[in-house]
Protein backbone atom coordinates (compact mmCIF):
# COMPACT_ATOMS: atom_id res chain seq x y z
CA UNK A 1 0.00 0.00 0.00
CA UNK A 2 1.30 3.45 -0.93
CA UNK A 3 2.03 5.70 2.06
CA UNK A 4 0.57 9.21 1.92
CA UNK A 5 3.08 12.09 1.82
CA UNK A 6 0.89 13.96 4.33
CA UNK A 7 -0.25 13.25 7.89
CA UNK A 8 -3.06 15.28 9.44
CA UNK A 9 -3.00 16.51 13.03
CA UNK A 10 -5.85 14.10 13.81
CA UNK A 11 -3.87 11.17 12.40
CA UNK A 12 -0.79 12.10 14.38
CA UNK A 13 -2.81 12.46 17.58
CA UNK A 14 -4.26 8.99 17.03
CA UNK A 15 -0.84 7.43 16.45
CA UNK A 16 1.29 9.46 18.84
CA UNK A 17 2.13 6.43 20.99
CA UNK A 18 3.03 4.11 18.12
CA UNK A 19 6.42 2.61 19.11
CA UNK A 20 7.60 2.89 15.49
CA UNK A 21 6.77 6.62 15.27
CA UNK A 22 9.80 8.85 14.70
CA UNK A 23 8.92 12.54 14.98
CA UNK A 24 11.34 15.08 13.52
CA UNK A 25 11.13 18.82 14.09
CA UNK A 26 12.49 20.60 11.00
CA UNK A 27 11.77 24.21 11.93
CA UNK A 28 14.33 26.61 10.48
CA UNK A 29 14.84 30.23 9.50
CA UNK A 30 17.26 30.97 6.68
CA UNK A 31 18.05 34.38 8.19
CA UNK A 32 18.63 32.96 11.69
CA UNK A 33 20.23 29.49 11.58
CA UNK A 34 19.78 28.91 15.34
CA UNK A 35 16.10 29.85 15.40
CA UNK A 36 14.82 26.34 14.72
CA UNK A 37 16.71 24.70 17.56
CA UNK A 38 15.73 27.50 19.96
CA UNK A 39 12.09 26.95 19.05
CA UNK A 40 12.43 23.17 19.50
CA UNK A 41 14.08 23.57 22.91
CA UNK A 42 11.33 25.97 23.99
CA UNK A 43 8.62 23.48 23.09
CA UNK A 44 7.95 20.72 20.59
CA UNK A 45 5.56 17.85 19.90
CA UNK A 46 6.33 15.25 22.60
CA UNK A 47 9.07 12.89 21.50
CA UNK A 48 10.26 14.98 18.56
CA UNK A 49 13.95 15.12 17.73
CA UNK A 50 15.40 18.27 16.22
CA UNK A 51 16.55 17.99 12.60
CA UNK A 52 18.96 20.82 11.84
CA UNK A 53 18.79 22.06 8.28
CA UNK A 54 22.45 23.10 8.33
CA UNK A 55 23.94 20.17 10.25
CA UNK A 56 21.63 17.18 9.73
CA UNK A 57 19.91 17.76 6.39
CA UNK A 58 22.86 19.41 4.65
CA UNK A 59 26.63 19.20 4.60
CA UNK A 60 28.95 22.19 5.08
CA UNK A 61 29.22 24.42 2.03
CA UNK A 62 32.40 24.00 -0.02
CA UNK A 63 33.85 25.72 -3.10
CA UNK A 64 31.56 25.17 -6.06
CA UNK A 65 28.62 23.93 -4.00
CA UNK A 66 25.27 25.48 -3.25
CA UNK A 67 24.24 26.78 0.16
CA UNK A 68 22.83 23.46 1.39
CA UNK A 69 24.66 20.58 -0.30
CA UNK A 70 23.31 17.14 0.45
CA UNK A 71 25.20 15.22 3.14
CA UNK A 72 27.05 12.11 2.04
CA UNK A 73 25.12 8.85 2.40
CA UNK A 74 27.38 7.92 5.34
CA UNK A 75 26.80 11.25 7.06
CA UNK A 76 23.03 10.97 6.69
CA UNK A 77 23.11 7.38 7.95
CA UNK A 78 24.89 8.57 11.10
CA UNK A 79 22.26 11.27 11.64
CA UNK A 80 19.44 8.76 11.25
CA UNK A 81 21.15 6.38 13.67
CA UNK A 82 21.37 9.14 16.27
CA UNK A 83 17.60 9.48 16.08
CA UNK A 84 17.08 5.72 16.49
CA UNK A 85 15.84 5.26 12.93
CA UNK A 86 15.11 1.75 11.62
CA UNK A 87 13.53 0.40 8.46
CA UNK A 88 10.32 0.04 10.51
CA UNK A 89 10.22 3.71 11.48
CA UNK A 90 7.06 5.63 10.63
CA UNK A 91 8.54 9.09 10.21
CA UNK A 92 6.51 12.27 10.53
CA UNK A 93 8.37 15.52 9.85
CA UNK A 94 7.06 18.98 10.66
CA UNK A 95 8.18 22.58 10.64
CA UNK A 96 6.52 25.80 11.75
CA UNK A 97 3.69 25.68 9.21
CA UNK A 98 4.27 25.57 5.47
CA UNK A 99 6.25 22.34 5.15
CA UNK A 100 9.33 23.78 3.44
CA UNK A 101 11.82 22.31 5.89
CA UNK A 102 9.86 19.11 6.50
CA UNK A 103 9.61 18.43 2.77
CA UNK A 104 13.41 18.39 2.51
CA UNK A 105 13.56 15.56 5.05
CA UNK A 106 10.63 13.81 3.36
CA UNK A 107 12.48 13.87 0.04
CA UNK A 108 15.79 12.71 1.57
CA UNK A 109 14.18 9.65 3.14
CA UNK A 110 12.20 8.83 0.02
CA UNK A 111 15.39 9.22 -2.03
CA UNK A 112 17.15 6.52 0.02
CA UNK A 113 14.18 4.20 -0.39
CA UNK A 114 12.26 4.72 2.87
CA UNK A 115 8.55 4.90 2.06
CA UNK A 116 6.87 5.40 5.45
CA UNK A 117 7.60 9.09 5.80
CA UNK A 118 5.19 12.01 5.69
CA UNK A 119 4.90 15.72 6.44
CA UNK A 120 2.53 17.05 9.09
CA UNK A 121 -0.05 19.11 7.22
CA UNK A 122 -0.04 22.62 8.71
CA UNK A 123 3.00 21.88 10.84
CA UNK A 124 3.56 22.92 14.43
CA UNK A 125 1.13 25.82 14.06
CA UNK A 126 -1.71 23.42 13.18
CA UNK A 127 -0.71 21.10 16.03
CA UNK A 128 -0.89 23.83 18.66
CA UNK A 129 -4.05 25.32 17.17
CA UNK A 130 -5.71 21.92 17.64
CA UNK A 131 -4.64 21.80 21.28
CA UNK A 132 -1.88 19.22 20.74
CA UNK A 133 0.48 18.71 23.67
CA UNK A 134 3.83 20.48 23.71
CA UNK A 135 6.80 19.81 25.98
CA UNK A 136 10.47 20.69 26.23
CA UNK A 137 11.80 17.24 27.18
CA UNK A 138 14.73 15.90 25.18
CA UNK A 139 13.83 12.55 23.61
CA UNK A 140 15.77 9.56 24.93
CA UNK A 141 16.33 6.78 22.41
CA UNK A 142 18.90 4.08 21.78
CA UNK A 143 21.08 4.85 18.79
CA UNK A 144 20.85 2.47 15.85
CA UNK A 145 23.21 1.42 13.09
CA UNK A 146 21.88 2.53 9.72
CA UNK A 147 23.31 1.39 6.39
CA UNK A 148 24.45 4.19 4.10
CA UNK A 149 22.28 4.48 0.99
CA UNK A 150 22.84 6.78 -1.96
CA UNK A 151 20.24 9.42 -2.80
CA UNK A 152 18.34 8.54 -5.97
CA UNK A 153 16.86 11.12 -8.33
CA UNK A 154 19.58 13.78 -8.01
CA UNK A 155 20.73 15.86 -10.98
CA UNK A 156 24.15 17.53 -10.97
CA UNK A 157 24.96 20.94 -12.42
CA UNK A 158 26.83 19.43 -15.38
CA UNK A 159 23.99 16.99 -16.10
CA UNK A 160 21.46 19.80 -15.96
CA UNK A 161 23.45 22.05 -18.24
CA UNK A 162 23.74 19.31 -20.87
CA UNK A 163 20.03 18.48 -20.58
CA UNK A 164 19.09 22.15 -21.03
CA UNK A 165 21.31 22.48 -24.08
CA UNK A 166 19.66 19.40 -25.61
CA UNK A 167 16.11 20.42 -24.62
CA UNK A 168 15.71 17.25 -22.55
CA UNK A 169 14.42 18.74 -19.30
CA UNK A 170 11.51 20.69 -17.82
CA UNK A 171 13.23 22.75 -15.14
CA UNK A 172 10.97 24.27 -12.46
CA UNK A 173 12.22 26.85 -9.94
CA UNK A 174 10.37 27.09 -6.60
CA UNK A 175 11.61 30.56 -5.60
CA UNK A 176 9.35 33.59 -5.32
CA UNK A 177 8.60 35.34 -8.61
CA UNK A 178 10.56 38.48 -7.76
CA UNK A 179 13.73 36.51 -6.98
CA UNK A 180 13.29 34.36 -10.08
CA UNK A 181 13.01 37.52 -12.20
CA UNK A 182 16.09 39.03 -10.56
CA UNK A 183 14.21 41.98 -9.09
CA UNK A 184 14.67 41.26 -5.38
CA UNK A 185 17.69 39.09 -4.66
CA UNK A 186 18.64 39.32 -0.99
CA UNK A 187 20.39 35.96 -0.53
CA UNK A 188 22.55 35.08 -3.53
CA UNK A 189 25.26 37.30 -5.05
CA UNK A 190 23.90 37.06 -8.62
CA UNK A 191 20.26 37.84 -9.36
CA UNK A 192 18.17 35.92 -11.86
CA UNK A 193 17.49 32.30 -12.81
CA UNK A 194 18.78 29.40 -14.87
CA UNK A 195 17.90 30.11 -18.52
CA UNK A 196 14.99 27.97 -19.67
CA UNK A 197 13.56 27.43 -16.19
CA UNK A 198 9.87 27.84 -15.41
CA UNK A 199 8.81 29.55 -12.20
CA UNK A 200 6.41 27.80 -9.83
CA UNK A 201 6.73 29.34 -6.33
CA UNK A 202 6.31 26.64 -3.69
CA UNK A 203 3.83 28.81 -1.79
CA UNK A 204 1.34 28.08 -4.57
CA UNK A 205 1.03 24.52 -3.22
CA UNK A 206 -0.69 25.82 -0.09
CA UNK A 207 -3.99 27.40 0.83
CA UNK A 208 -4.30 30.60 2.83
CA UNK A 209 -4.35 28.49 6.01
CA UNK A 210 -0.91 27.04 5.17
CA UNK A 211 -2.37 23.57 4.61
CA UNK A 212 -1.61 21.69 1.41
CA UNK A 213 -4.12 22.04 -1.40
CA UNK A 214 -6.21 19.03 -2.49
CA UNK A 215 -4.75 16.80 -5.19
CA UNK A 216 -7.17 18.01 -7.86
CA UNK A 217 -6.27 21.66 -7.23
CA UNK A 218 -2.55 20.82 -7.33
CA UNK A 219 -2.99 19.02 -10.66
CA UNK A 220 -4.74 22.11 -12.02
CA UNK A 221 -2.02 24.46 -10.80
CA UNK A 222 0.72 22.24 -12.23
CA UNK A 223 -1.02 21.73 -15.58
CA UNK A 224 1.48 23.66 -17.73
CA UNK A 225 4.57 22.07 -16.17
CA UNK A 226 3.08 18.58 -16.35
CA UNK A 227 2.22 19.00 -20.02
CA UNK A 228 5.84 19.85 -20.72
CA UNK A 229 7.08 17.07 -18.44
CA UNK A 230 5.27 14.56 -20.65
CA UNK A 231 7.86 15.42 -23.32
CA UNK A 232 10.91 16.24 -21.17
CA UNK A 233 11.37 14.96 -17.58
CA UNK A 234 10.75 17.44 -14.78
CA UNK A 235 13.60 18.59 -12.53
CA UNK A 236 12.86 20.73 -9.46
CA UNK A 237 15.17 23.45 -8.17
CA UNK A 238 15.11 26.53 -5.94
CA UNK A 239 17.81 28.57 -4.21
CA UNK A 240 19.61 25.74 -2.44
CA UNK A 241 17.57 22.55 -2.78
CA UNK A 242 15.10 23.01 0.09
CA UNK A 243 11.85 24.46 -1.24
CA UNK A 244 12.33 22.48 -4.45
CA UNK A 245 11.42 19.45 -2.31
CA UNK A 246 8.13 21.17 -1.48
CA UNK A 247 7.31 21.15 -5.20
CA UNK A 248 8.33 17.48 -5.44
CA UNK A 249 5.96 16.61 -2.61
CA UNK A 250 3.18 18.60 -4.29
CA UNK A 251 3.75 16.66 -7.50
CA UNK A 252 3.60 13.40 -5.57
CA UNK A 253 0.28 14.47 -4.03
CA UNK A 254 -0.97 15.38 -7.49
CA UNK A 255 -0.24 11.86 -8.69
CA UNK A 256 3.03 12.59 -10.51
CA UNK A 257 5.90 11.15 -8.44
CA UNK A 258 9.37 10.55 -9.83
CA UNK A 259 10.53 14.07 -10.71
CA UNK A 260 14.18 14.71 -9.97
CA UNK A 261 15.95 17.26 -7.76
CA UNK A 262 18.69 19.65 -8.79
CA UNK A 263 20.10 19.57 -5.29
CA UNK A 264 22.70 22.30 -5.77
CA UNK A 265 20.06 24.61 -7.26
CA UNK A 266 20.60 28.27 -8.12
CA UNK A 267 23.26 28.95 -5.48
CA UNK A 268 25.40 26.18 -7.01
CA UNK A 269 24.60 27.17 -10.58
CA UNK A 270 26.03 30.66 -10.06
CA UNK A 271 29.11 29.34 -8.24
CA UNK A 272 30.59 28.89 -11.71
CA UNK A 273 30.65 32.32 -13.41
CA UNK A 274 30.78 30.62 -16.82
CA UNK A 275 27.21 29.36 -16.44
CA UNK A 276 24.58 31.61 -18.03
CA UNK A 277 21.97 33.51 -16.01
CA UNK A 278 18.70 35.03 -17.20
CA UNK A 279 16.53 37.76 -15.71
CA UNK A 280 12.92 38.78 -16.24
CA UNK A 281 9.74 36.76 -16.11
pLDDT of residue 18: 96
Q: What is the spatial distance between Cα 36 and Cα 104, in angstroms, rounded to a whole number?
A: 15
Nearest Cα neighbor of 7 from 112, 80, 99 is: 99
Residue 118 and residue 92 in contact, taking contact as beta carbons nearer than 8 Å: yes
pLDDT of residue 1: 47
Distances (CA, A) of 184 to 3, 188, 205: 38, 10, 22
Active-site positions read 238
Q: What is the CATH number of domain 154-269?
A: 3.40.250.10
> Which pairing describes strands 234-237 and 260-262: parallel, antiparallel, or unpaired?
parallel
Write out pLDDT tens, residues 85-120. Answer: 999 999 999 999 999 999 999 999 999 999 999 999
| In the chain, domain spans | 6-129, 154-269
Residue 215, Ramachandran bin (φ over 0: left; ψ between -120 and 50: alpha; else beta): alpha
pLDDT of residue 2: 65
Q: Name the CATH code of domain 6-129 (choices 3.30.420.40, 3.30.1330.20, 3.40.250.10, 3.40.50.720).
A: 3.40.250.10
Q: What is the spatial distance between Cα 16 and Cα 12, in angstroms, rounded to a whole number?
A: 6
Where the chain has pLDDT below 70, the residues are 1-2
Amino acid sequence: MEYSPLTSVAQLLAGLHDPDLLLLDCRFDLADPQAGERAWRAGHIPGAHFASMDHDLAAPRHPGSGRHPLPSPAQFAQVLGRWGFTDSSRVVAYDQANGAGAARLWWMLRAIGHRTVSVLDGGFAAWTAAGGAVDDQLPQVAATTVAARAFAGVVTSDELQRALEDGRVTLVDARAADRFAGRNETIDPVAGHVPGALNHPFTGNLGADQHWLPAAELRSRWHVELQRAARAPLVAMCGSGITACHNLLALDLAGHPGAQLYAGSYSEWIADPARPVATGE
